[in-house]
Amino acid sequence: PIKGELLYEGKAKRVYRTGDPDQYLVEFKDDATAFDGLKKGTIARKGEINARLSALFFQMLAGRGIPTHFIEQTGPRELLVRAVEIIPVEVVVRNIAAGSLAKRLGLEEGTTLKRPVLEFYYKSDELHDPMINNYHIAALELATDTQIKEMESYAWKVNELLAEFLQPADLVLVDFKLEFGLHHGQVLLADEISPDTCRFWDSTSGAKLDKDRFRRDLGGVEDAYEEVLSRVERLLQ
């Protein structure tokens, strides 16, 4: 596919037009940001690792009935995807208290939740991604009621499928963030699924194998990303 006009450049990815109006190219960068862009850095090989992991996760999920934007991997850090308009709502699912949930509700990080939790955030840099609920989404017309239900139902399914998939790799799926897009009116799972957007803990040691190593200056960031990729690739051999 030809790399056409740059449509969008975000913190971690660039999206390009292709010769086909129904398809975009997504290029994954090594740049990393945290805390609303306040912390900046680069993580060596992150672009390649996140492109590969996203491709493998999307493939696995598509095979189990989740409609995704993924078509194929076209380069070491490049995915060909269905063209979508991103719904400006982030969907977070949590199995174990960590990060902002632990802080907001005063839970000790690592506390297993009695039931998984699903949250919505409004994707808005100016507003710093405030948490919202179904009513806010409807009031702001960010998505229709049907689209909200579809996003919720796909997010719960992704939680089950991804947690089960990662278990034999000794990875615990603590929480993750999904984004969805519209392609000819159809809701598709979009964006990426990677250690940038999920919390993965080693099931034996509890070691953090995700972007928290960067956020919290824990060191070993590159090694953690490599470790997740090599464990997932081993699963698929």
Q: Which residues in 202-221 contact ligand C5P (CB under 6 A)?
A: 211
Q: Which residues in 63-102 contact ligand C5P (CB under 6 A)?
A: 90, 92, 98-101
Which of 29, 77, 82, 177 contacts ligand C5P by CB under 6 A?
Answer: 177
- Region from 18-26, 37-45, 170-178, 182-190 binding ligand C5P, contact rule CB under 6 A: 170-178
3-state secondary structure of 74: strand
Distance (Å, whole) CA 32 – CA 40: 6
Cα distances (Å, whole numbers) of residue 42 to 27, 138, 176, 218? 15, 37, 21, 15
Cα distances (Å, whole numbers) of residue 230 to 30, 52, 56, 171, 184? 18, 11, 12, 12, 36
3-state secondary structure of 64: coil
- Region from 61-69, 110-118, 148-156, 193-201 binding ligand C5P, contact rule CB under 6 A: 193-201
Cβ closer to ligand C5P: 75 or 99?
99
In whole angstroms, the minimum distance from the beta carbon of 72 to ligand C5P comes to: 24
- Contact between 137 and ligand C5P per CB under 6 A: no
Distance (Å, whole) CA 235 – CA 195: 17
Footprint of ligand C5P on this chain (CB under 6 A)? Answer: 90, 92, 98-101, 129, 175-177, 197-199, 211
